[in-house]
């Protein structure tokens, strides 16, 4: 039987796994809706009324876990939290069996996984429920929606935005590439340490998609090659959740990518973005993070609005 929550155009597994799966119009719609909910968290008719959503976080989280849990409640639903050691997956139960059981009781599942993104697709197929990727090893798509919504809030129409990402080509960077690839005439540069760049397969997909709307996505490994004109400088912490760097001297490779006032002042009008948590003195100086040009705290507030927009779309589609 078909999933009663399925939207036309959704991927077969139903839900949000990668932003690369979504049509450009839908990505833009989610960011626009996020801004609406940012301005008014009650701008809805409690679309999750009667719905029960599991919130499973196998890795630490402050903003994303709180945003999705509160988002379910604000939309009228009931959130059922699971911690990293709560399910029988830890005792060897098959992922497929877990999916079937959760699907028989829940209307949707939000998950931050320690495993690959394909595990989320398995849970969705077996449970026949929408699954929302709240961060997997490969991509952090809800962060991408949040980031685009923040740009829309600050700049209005983000078309033509010029963004410089500084740091590791991690799951946040992948989401940023996919979400900005659908913005007309956007110019995105990923400045990453050599050996810690964007996954080539993800970069190729984003580059092709950007070309279709007149955008440019490129990667460099030396900040001396950064563009002359930049609207936003974006960074993330160097040691992200769930990752481990084999090279014990990795910090030496990252030091030139520290964002301080001297770097930001190369672009006097540029804003600063950070997905948080931040380690002041490592990837960013406290002066930049807490300075007048920082949008990091606006991003953090946008997490709730973007989670609500994603939940509204994936769990309670408009009829």
Supply the pLDDT for residue 317.
Answer: 67
Supply the pLDDT for residue 2.
Answer: 43
Residue 254 and residue 166 in one domain: yes
Residue 53 and residue 160 in one domain: no
- Please state, in angstroms and rounded to a whole number, the distance separating the CA atoms of residues 293 and 273: 9
DSSP letter at 272 equals: E
Residue 163 and residue 308 in one domain: no
Whether 3 is covered by a domain: the verdict is no
Residue 125 and residue 25 in one domain: yes
Supply the pLDDT for residue 254.
Answer: 96
Supply the pLDDT for residue 243.
Answer: 63
Pairing of strands 108-112, 52-57: parallel
Q: In a 3-state reduction of DSSP, which class is residue 278? A: coil
Whether 2 is covered by a domain: the verdict is no
Residue 98 and residue 214 in one domain: no
Supply the pLDDT for residue 114.
Answer: 77
The answer to whether 191 and 164 are in contact (CB under 8 A) is yes
Backbone angles phi, psi at 110, to 5 degrees: -105, 130
Please state the domain count of the chain: 2
Whether 4 is covered by a domain: the verdict is no
Residue 76 and residue 114 in one domain: yes
> Per-10-residue mean pLDDT for the chain, 319 residues long?
39 83 97 98 97 96 97 98 92 94 97 90 95 96 98 97 97 97 98 96 98 98 98 93 77 96 98 97 97 98 98 80
Name the packing angle between helices 117-127 and 95-103 (round to 10°).
50
Element (H, E) at 84: none
Residue 23 and residue 134 in one domain: yes
DSSP calls for 18-68: -GGGS-HHHHHHHHHHHHHHHH-TT-S--TTTT-EEEEEESS--SHHHHHH
- Please identify which residue in the block is written with the tokens 């997997």: 136
CA 56 to chain centre: 16
Whether 8 is covered by a domain: the verdict is no
Residue 110's alpha-carbon distances to 56, 148, 158, 171, 177, in angstroms, are: 6, 20, 28, 17, 22
CATH number, domain at 223? 3.40.50.1370
Residue 115 and residue 57 in one domain: yes
Whether 6 is covered by a domain: the verdict is no
Q: Please give the residue range of the domain that contains residue 261.
A: 143-300
pTM of the model: 0.93
Residue 118 and residue 219 in one domain: no
Supply the pLDDT for residue 27.
Answer: 98
Whether 9 is covered by a domain: the verdict is no
């Amino acid at each position: 039987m078909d999933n009663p929550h399925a939207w036309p155009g959704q991927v077969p597994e139903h839900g949000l796994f990668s932003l690369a799966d979504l049509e450009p119009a839908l990505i833009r719609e989610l960011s626009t809706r996020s801004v609406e909910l940012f301005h008014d968290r009650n701008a809805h008719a409690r679309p999750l009324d009667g719905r029960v959503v599991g919130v499973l976080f196998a890795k630490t989280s402050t903003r994303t876990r709180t945003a999705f849990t509160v988002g379910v409640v604000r939309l009228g639903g009931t959130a059922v939290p699971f911690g990293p050691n709560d399910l029988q997956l830890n005792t060897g139960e098959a992922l497929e069996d877990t999916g079937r059981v959760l699907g028989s009781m829940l209307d949707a599942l939000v998950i931050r996984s320690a495993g690959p993104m394909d595990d989320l697709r398995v849970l969705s197929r077996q449970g026949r429920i929408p699954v929302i990727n709240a961060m997997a090893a490969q991509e952090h798509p809800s962060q991408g929606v949040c980031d685009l919504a923040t740009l829309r809030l600050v700049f209005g129409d983000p078309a033509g935005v010029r963004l410089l990402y500084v740091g590791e080509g991690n799951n946040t960077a992948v989401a940023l590439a996919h979400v900005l690839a659908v913005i007309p005439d956007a110019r995105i540069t990923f400045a990453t340490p050599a050996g810690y760049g964007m996954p080539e397969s993800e970069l190729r997909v984003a580059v092709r998609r950007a070309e279709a709307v007149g955008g440019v996505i490129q990667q460099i490994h030396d900040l001396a090659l950064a563009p002359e004109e930049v609207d936003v400088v974006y960074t993330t912490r160097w040691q992200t959740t769930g990752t481990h760097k084999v090279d014990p001297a990795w910090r030496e490779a990252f030091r030139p990518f520290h964002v301080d006032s001297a770097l930001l002042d190369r672009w006097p009008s540029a804003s600063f973005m950070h997905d948080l948590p931040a380690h002041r003195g490592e990837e960013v100086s406290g002066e930049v993070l807490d300075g007048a040009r920082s949008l990091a705290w606006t991003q953090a507030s946008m997490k709730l609005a973007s989670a609500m927009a994603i939940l509204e779309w994936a769990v309670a589609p408009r009829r």
